[in-house]
Amino acid sequence: VQLQASGGGLVQAGESLRLSCAAPGRTLLSNTMAWFRQAPGKEREFVAAVAHSGGEYYADSVAGRFTISRDNSKNTLYLQMNSLKPEDTAVYYCAGSPRIYTRRSSYYQSPSYASWGQGTQVTVSS
């Protein structure tokens, strides 16, 4: 499934952004979906995931500030990012898997996801 991420930009610390991830012509309803991010010189890291059941999973660093959601009628995944910090600066990637996972740890691992978007840059200035 080809995914298209958008919504990144340059904001100041404390501001908000909403990222979107679309799968044109395909449904996200049956997929496990997630957001990852990669900062310069660092490994790609898990940000948030939403399970087929609707369960949500967050990295400790973003819990309470970010919210993952999806609009099945629009085949779109979102990441609402509030109270942004300079350390949130990264390229954000959406990812999807046709699998339904029973192990919590599976949601946090990038190899669990077969489809990836091209990434959208988020830059937070202090």
Residue 43's pLDDT is what?
96
Residue 25's pLDDT is what?
72
Residue 28's pLDDT is what?
62
| The 76-81 sheet, strands edge to edge | 4-6, 17-22, 76-81, 66-71
Instruction: Please provide the size of the chain in residues.
Output: 126
Instruction: Report which of residues 83 and 53 the model is more confident about.
Output: 83
Q: Over 90: is that where the pLDDT of 87 sits?
A: yes
Q: Over 60: is that where the pLDDT of 49 sits?
A: yes
Residue 68's pLDDT is what?
97
At residue 108, φ and ψ (nearest 5 deg) are -90, -5
Residue 1's pLDDT is what?
62
CA distance 102 to 113: 14
Sign of CA dihedral 93, 99, 101, 105: negative
Q: Percentage of residues in the chain with pLDDT exceeding 70?
A: 96
Residue 37's pLDDT is what?
98
Residue with tokens 């909403």: 18
CA distance 42 to 83: 22
Residue 19's pLDDT is what?
98
Residue 73's pLDDT is what?
81
CA distance 81 to 15: 8
